[in-house]
Amino acid sequence: MENEYFNILRRFYDKSLILESPSEFHPVLHFYFLDAIAHIDYTLCILSFNFQSVRNIMNMQYMRWRIDEEKVGDRVHFPAFINWLKDNHPERFAKLPTLWKEIYDTDTPAGYRSFRIVLDPNSTRPVPAQFFARSIEEFFSRDFLNTLYTDASLASLFDEFISTLER
């Protein structure tokens, strides 16, 4: 019998970027887009399969690699950018995918724990399956994907934020 997380994972694997041009996405936003997708995949796989399954072992290897990659170049500023949006562009912050708001907003307890998405570190309950379904739809919505392009709104705001940092 398949569990509810596996059914969401199946819908997740049906998503595609065929109509998009990821090579034209802003490089930092592209990294964090793929990173969020990888965390969703990892967490759903942990909830769907045996912890020692080949799929989960492969995911763990990627997740270990990404720890160093998030420190490359302007990627390190992404969490601060999310909080800057919250303070300076609340209407734009409100339109971000829920997962980004939960993970990077310094006012929420959510985070990546052992590479899994954890919304409440004090709870032993898994993240509700519907959270993943909503997150997947948000990340693959046409409106959101259009903001990731180098000359798009979110990318422009990220570049504006970077220009405010002392170098």
Residue 111 has pLDDT above 60, yes or no: yes
Domain range annotation of the chain: 24-164
Higher pLDDT, 167 or 123: 123
Residue 14 has pLDDT above 60, yes or no: yes
Strands (E) in 14-135, as ranges, are 111-113, 116-118
Percent of the chain at pLDDT above 90? Answer: 78
pTM, entire model: 0.90
Lowest mean per-residue pLDDT among 6-10, 26-30, 46-50, 83-87: 46-50
